[in-house]
Amino acid sequence: MNPRAFLDGGTVSVAEPTYAVCRTEEPVPEAFATIQAEGETTVVVEQGRVPATATDVSRGWRRLTFEMELPFDFVGFLAVVATELAAADVSVFALSAYSTDHVLVREADLDVAIQQLESLGCEVA
């Protein structure tokens, strides 16, 4: 399966809230995402909900969600997205759910990110 062909005509939604990515001591129940790795916990929360337990905080992220079912054996999907955004000097924080992917980009880079995704044929809503 060709990732570029899969992206062509696919929908990407832009979440309304601005997010913060935080290193915390423990999970946060209202977080959009929680990543517990050995030695650290990372949460993605709406910017106004940064927990008091956060030891490091990166604010000003917007969430782009690929509104498409992505098979587990699909090779290269995020690579194509990340490469296209990197070509425009857009940093990403990528998250994968069971059936789809999310990419957080800096709010200041949102318009450029949208243009890059549209150049791949995505419909950005």
| Domain residue limits, the chain | 3-124
Q: Is the pLDDT of residue 18 over 90?
A: yes
Whether CATH 3.90.1150.10 fits 3-124: no
The answer to whether the beta carbons of residues 118 and 10 sit under 8 Å apart is no
The whole-angstrom separation of Cα 54 and Cα 52 is 5
- Residue 9 vs residues 81, 93, 100, 118, 123: alpha-carbon distances, Å: 14, 23, 16, 9, 6
- Please report the pLDDT score of residue 1 as a whole number: 81
Q: Are 60 and 108 in contact (CB under 8 A)?
A: yes
Read off the pLDDT of residues 23-39 as tens digits, 9 standing for 90 and up: 998 999 999 999 999 98
